[in-house]
Amino acid sequence: ISSTKGDIDVVAARVRDGVGIVQLFVVRNGHSLGTRTITPRHVSGAAARDILEAFLPQYYLNAAANRPIPAEILVSEPIEDTEL
């Protein structure tokens, strides 16, 4: 995907008919590691931005999951807290 061999995640959220979806696209060392679709619970009335703001810290800062945080995270909606 990239000749720079970087690490980047693309995270998109969408809400339709009261159902929220988060799509995660992962690139490590310039290579696509694939996508993951997450269906968060309790999104009734939430906007896509609200879902992203709740999802990002839960996903990346979960100590039990021990996930590396990439150098860059692109999101589909502007969020207020941009520091992880």
Return the higher-pLDDT residue of 27 and 80. Answer: 27
pLDDT at 66: 86
| Token pair belonging to 8 | 């980047």
> Mind listing the pLDDT tens digit for each residue in 11-29?
999 999 888 999 999 999 9
| Token pair belonging to 74 | 């692109």
In 3D space, the residue among 75, 46, 73 whose CA is nearest the CA of residue 60 turns out to be 73
pLDDT reading at 1 higher than 60: no
How far is residue 29 from each of residues 4, 7, 19, 38, 56, measured CA to CA in Å?
8, 6, 33, 23, 21
The CA distance from 32 to 24, in Å, is: 11
DSSP state of 68: P
pLDDT at 67: 86
Q: pTM for the full model?
A: 0.84
Return the higher-pLDDT residue of 52 and 5. Answer: 52
